[in-house]
Amino acid sequence: MAKKDLIIRIGGEGGEGVVSAGDFIAAACARAGLEVYTFKTFPAEIKGGYCMYQVRTSAERVYNQGDTFDVFCAFNGEAYELNKHLLIPGSVFVYDGPGGDFEPEIPEGVTAYPIPMTKTAQALKSKRSKNMVALGALSTLFNISEATLKEVLTDKFKNKGEEILNFNLGAFDEGKKLAEAIEKVDTFRVADPKEPKDVIIISGNDACGMGAILGGLDFFSAYPITPATEIAKFVATHIPKKAGTLLQAEDEIASIAQVMGASYAGKKCMTATSGPGLALMAELLGMSSMSETPLMLVDVQRGGPSTGMPTKHEQSDLFLAIHGSHGDAERIVLSVEDVNDCINMTVEALNLAEEYQCPVILLSDGSLAFSTQTVPAPKPENFTIVNRKKWDGQGEYKRYELTDDNISPMCDPGTPGGQHIATGLEHTEKGAPCWDLHNRDLQMDKRFNKLRPVVNTYKPVEVDGEGEADLGVIAWGSTIGVVREAVDRMRAEGMKVKGFYPKLMWPMPVEQYEAFAKTCKKILVPEVNYLGQLSHFIRAETSISPISYPICQGLPFTPAQVIEKSKEVI
């Protein structure tokens, strides 16, 4: 398959401007009408430690961060040491030299371009300009539009004063001159600019925040936790514009309690956390189920258990999301594939919480949280907003009335005639605590049966491919984007492969899984956790016996990994 993209990786020490340089390249490519997918990883320390940013750009859509880089730019010796095994014949190596802190050995077949980033920054009397020097050099070497990059830099620095702006543009120009003096011998280049599209470039976390605003959010409470905090930061910036409220709670338990209280009062509410916070919220998730109080929660998964790997990628909270409660507590669990899903499915999750009066958990992950993508600019008028069923004021009000669809009308506190109890205790239709055996059966049936329609009314699981296949690959979360590309590449090699991409994780659409499996000789489930959590649920809930393919090293899959395993399985 002919290569249509370019992948640039920048590595260095936290605080050297690695992430800023990557962000500027991604923004410039997006403004030039190109597709962008980024991936970044950094240590848990505030400053220092290895930091990496990877930009994949193409004139065509890209679904993931790619297999490996085409171009590697090393700011220091640590970055070189950690990536030198990936420098293969045909790749390009841009490094800080002479004058840097290392002298690399250039592997045979690798094109190397030394750029004295540190030395130039020192001459400019600002070590912090090192990334601007690198940016100017990369722009010249790989056809990244200089005009567009300078637009991006101007937008970033103009509010900091003309002196700072001009200094950064000057450092950029110095890097450009250094690259112009080099004879370019490789063929890598960013695709030529296209007609600008109506798109934005945004991270997964910010996209969840945007989806919350578009979904009619009234109240948000959260406690800061990596890697979910940016959702709260985005909401904090924008929810006051619609007269909404954001609180930073003292801990995760307080945040979900505040969300439940506001929801009981009639507001559309949400919180966001990561695995350790979700664990603390388990008891109140159960209360949301029992009291049928709408509640929406975004869980940005990270490496666990315990504190684990706070800044690293994993998708290992599925067990906790589905069954994280004492007793039998119903809920809806969704999982996003990409940044666009983070917008759209946050709206859908808020809608489902309101419609079914239950907790809805939306699973994102550490990779997607910080990855940026180009996505269509969302139009508020294109979103359907669902609000909870309200009491019409007629007759006697029963908060937990047994209805045909098992969903009872809600009533805001203070509504005349609408006095009621909403409690974590088992209760009668009116809400009074009750231990009657028959009543217990009725209320348990009510809470679980109201969710049965979800598997048929929520959008069907996407099947990628037609007819019979030697292998079906089931993927969830951001692994879907990796599998999409892997399936395309395997088909191009003549392999009979299909993909199956669920977004509704619970209740599980069993019939759709079964129908897909009948068309495939074998089923493979790649996922970023140790136990193969989705594979576990597939074996438990269906007649399918999938081949589990788990990894948990803090990084997402690459398409090459999925292809290699698929060929082995076939």
Residue at a domain's end among 150, 180, 210: 180
In whole angstroms, what is the distance from residue 129 CA to residue 172 CA? 8
pLDDT for the residue 195? 82
Average pLDDT, the chain: 95
Domain membership of residue 533 (yes or no) is yes
Q: From 203, 173, 250, 220, select the one nearest 26 (Cα to Cα).
A: 203
pLDDT at 362 over 70: yes
Domain boundary among 145, 180, 215: 180
> CB-side exposure of 183: number of CA atoms within 13 Å?
1
Cβ-proximal residues to 374 (8 Å cutoff; 6+ apart), any chain: 30, 34, 35, 36, 197, 199, 200, 201
Rg (CA), the chain: 26
Domain count, the chain: 3
Predicted confidence (pLDDT) per residue in 166-217, tens digit: 999 999 999 999 999 999 999 999 998 888 788 999 999 999 999 999 999 9
- For the cut 90, the answer to whether the pLDDT of residue 154 exceeds it is yes
**In sequence order, what are the beta bridge partners of 352?**
none
pLDDT at residue number 193: 87
d(CA 54, CA 479): 17
Q: Does 393 map to a domain?
A: no
How far is residue 193's CA from residue 36's CA, in Å, rounded to a whole number? 13
State yes or no: pLDDT of 359 exceeds 90: yes
Q: Quick one: 37 and 166 in the same domain?
A: yes
Could you tell me what percent of the chain has a pLDDT over 70?
A: 99
CA torsion sign for 492, 497, 498, 503 is negative
Q: Which domain holds residue 486?
A: 463-569
Measured in Å, how far apart are the chain's first and last C-alpha atoms?
21
Instruction: Classify residue 140: in a domain, yes or no.
Output: yes
CB-based contacts of 280, cutoff 8 Å, min separation 6: 251, 252, 253
How many whole angstroms from its chain centre is CA 231?
Answer: 11
Q: Is residue 240 part of a domain?
A: yes
- Number of other residues whose CB lies within 10 A of the CB of residue 540: 8
Within a domain: 490: yes
User: Tell me, what's the pLDDT at 17?
Assistant: 92
Residue 421 is predicted with a pLDDT of 87
Q: Which residues contact 437 (CB under 8 A, 6 or more apart)?
A: none
The pTM assigned to this predicted structure is: 0.94
- Please determine, for residue 46, whether its predicted confidence score (pLDDT) is greater than 80: no
Q: Is the pLDDT of residue 45 over 70?
A: no
CATH of the domain at 560: 3.40.50.920
pLDDT, tens digit, for every residue of 264-274?
Answer: 999 999 999 99
The Cα-based distances of 476 to 251, 482, 500, 508, 535 in angstroms read 30, 10, 9, 13, 11
- Whether the pLDDT of residue 392 is over 60: the answer is yes
d(CA 150, CA 153): 5
Interacting residues of 12 by C-beta distance below 8 A, sequence separation 6+? 18, 50, 51, 74, 75, 76, 78, 79
